[in-house]
Structure 1
């Protein structure tokens, strides 16, 4: 089953097939549909339904406000067309996929523990893995009602490997299923790549990567991508990782493997819980990463290309600090919100 989608007010149209959401169908067809999380939380993919019918996957998705609902707006990431549609949305050239997302089957080929609750799952498909450093993909896991989005930690490769660093979330069905039930050689469906917070190499600015929790994965991928592209021959890369307690800190081992570690690459761990730090005998940085970032960069903040990923409160605090307090140009700030 396929449906024709027409964008009101312009000549653009595309085709939706199968159970693709409106957003996935648009991106698969190279349409610059605005989006971020693609999971119903951020609200970036709002659109007006002019004609036709859709099946809404998550009617209560927090990405819509009550005002949006009164006006009849929908989220493209939560709508599956059930007829031909006419929609109204302002497309964004920045959202046109650099690499067209696709679905593939991949089997689990390895697992590596990173911390007590963070683990890297390595999958391999039959075709080359093509994505940009910092992007994410969705994984459909048997027994979980909807796909989950996770960032890749490795780089594009001809071997077809997709590495995901995933944190076990208490009562999180997908993460617990991966940790407890998925075994070597089990298969999942991967759909990607997606995401706009990928590595930029069109400027000479130093690079700052800020991560917390499983936000480690895209930041490690960006650091690896910068090193592989030779960007760190002329630039510095500051890597800041925040954890609640010292046992949550990670990332240094992956950075140590890169050329330039200790020279052009520096690692700055930060613990947010002072009591945990004291009990563990931690003598390093204590506080929230968004508070510590200005201490590191000072008046050089506006000279950086800044990437960050982590829990919503962390990313929100960093975004507000950079844009409101320091007035960093938006084009120098790169992040994808997860919910």
Structure 2
């Protein structure tokens, strides 16, 4: 049976993995351990560890986050591995990975649905306790047959227990199609919060937020936090949202009720498909969203704190544009790698 006591060789830290934890990573985070991670879904490789003693089971047959060299050396991914009895592992933990809010697993009931585009919907779930997370973080949603997917919250922490997610329906996606079939009153299990691309409270820089697709969710949460907190009242906040066609754009309605809308809070929509833009009579920005950011800010982009979320091609293009071309310091760029 999966589960057991896990000992970290380097520090001697011990924590238990129960059958409900699902993975070594989730058990570590629930115990407050600073286990390295990013995507929590097997794609990024950040939660790599070396088995020292004991047996392990696989949650995924071939996680993309392990290179062939990693496999030859015997590495495993904590988010895709479960302990079988007591085990010892080798991994370097760090304080910055320790959860800022308690990592909880709970049942949540669907209370509201709102369609935003032809294939994106906002889901509102209510849990049994206050929803405590950092704007920009995500949660692990559990579906049928123990399937899990990671989705970012689009709302703010609240005492009412509301968890909102903006989710894109993928035609071939079994999990997203299951979610889109949920009806009001039905429940699922949420585990979280997770994620490192949250607001840097100590920074005094102006902010650029960049999103594509359902990557809008954490960006909306971050923008809401910056616009509503007096501690950030001096900051300029620019949100850039890219869609393939004008019909794919949304997000302004989540922010235009803030008093600072149009003054220090600005929303920039960008359409990547020129033919679709022309057909719809679109008169706004066209091209890739990262190109729009560079056109508007040029060298001054380095003066900003930058948050982004979106599909892998967009994330890759942004990393190249910001870090390699514009030389933005890495510590000013915040994103969680999802694959």
Query: What is the SS of the residue equivalent to 1:83?
Result: strand
- The runs of 5 or more residues in structure 1 that have no matched partner are none
Alpha carbons 1:167, 1:175 under 8 Å: kept:
yes
Quote the offset at 1:12 in angstroms: 2.2
The 1:144/1:249 distance shift into structure 2, 3 A limit, reads: farther
Distance 2:136 2:233 in 1: 20
Query: What is the SS of the residue equivalent to 2:10?
Result: coil
Quote the offset at 1:3 in angstroms: 1.7
Distance 1:115 1:231 in 2: 33
Q: Deviations along 1:240-272, whole A, 9 cap, x unmatched?
A: 000001100111111202220100001111111
Residue 9 of structure 1 is matched in structure 2 by 10
1:178 is the counterpart of 2:179: yes
Distance 1:69 1:265 in 2: 47
Distance 1:2 1:172 in 2: 29
Quote the offset at 1:94 in angstroms: 1.5
Residue 82 of structure 1 is matched in structure 2 by 84
Equivalent runs, 1:210-289 vs 2, <5 Å: 210-289=210-289
Counterpart pick for 2:62 among 60, 63, 73: 60
Give 4+ residue runs of structure 1 displaced > 3 Å after superposition. Answer: none
Quote the offset at 1:145 in angstroms: 4.3
What is the aligned-residue RMSD (CA, Å)? Answer: 1.3
Alpha carbons 1:120, 1:164 under 8 Å: kept:
yes
Alpha carbons 1:144, 1:174 under 8 Å: kept:
no
Quote the offset at 1:147 in angstroms: 1.2
Residue 40 of structure 1 is matched in structure 2 by 42
Distance 1:4 1:111 in 2: 41
Instruction: Name which of structure 1's ranges 11-20 and 125-134 shifts more when overlaid on structure 2.
Output: 11-20
Residue 132 of structure 1 is matched in structure 2 by 134
Question: Alignment length, in residue pairs?
Answer: 337
Equivalent runs, 1:306-317 vs 2, <5 Å: 306-317=306-317
Distance 2:158 2:68 in 1: 44
Q: Deviations along 1:179-223, whole A, 9 cap, x unmatched?
A: 12x111101001000000111111210011101000111000001
Residue 113 of structure 2 is matched in structure 1 by 111
Q: Deviations along 1:265-293, whole A, 9 cap, x unmatched?
A: 01111111111111111111111112121
Query: What is the SS of the residue equivalent to 1:37?
Result: coil
Quote the offset at 1:231 in angstroms: 4.1
Instruction: Name which of structure 1's ranges 321-330 and 82-91 shifts more when overlaid on structure 2.
Output: 321-330
Q: Deviations along 1:283-328, whole A, 9 cap, x unmatched?
A: 1111111212111211211110100000011011111221222222
Distance 2:231 2:219 in 1: 15
Query: What is the SS of the residue equivalent to 1:121?
Result: strand
The 1:241/1:232 distance shift into structure 2, 3 A limit, reads: same
Quote the offset at 1:92 in angstroms: 2.2
Q: Using structure 1 for the length normalisation, give the TM-score.
A: 0.96
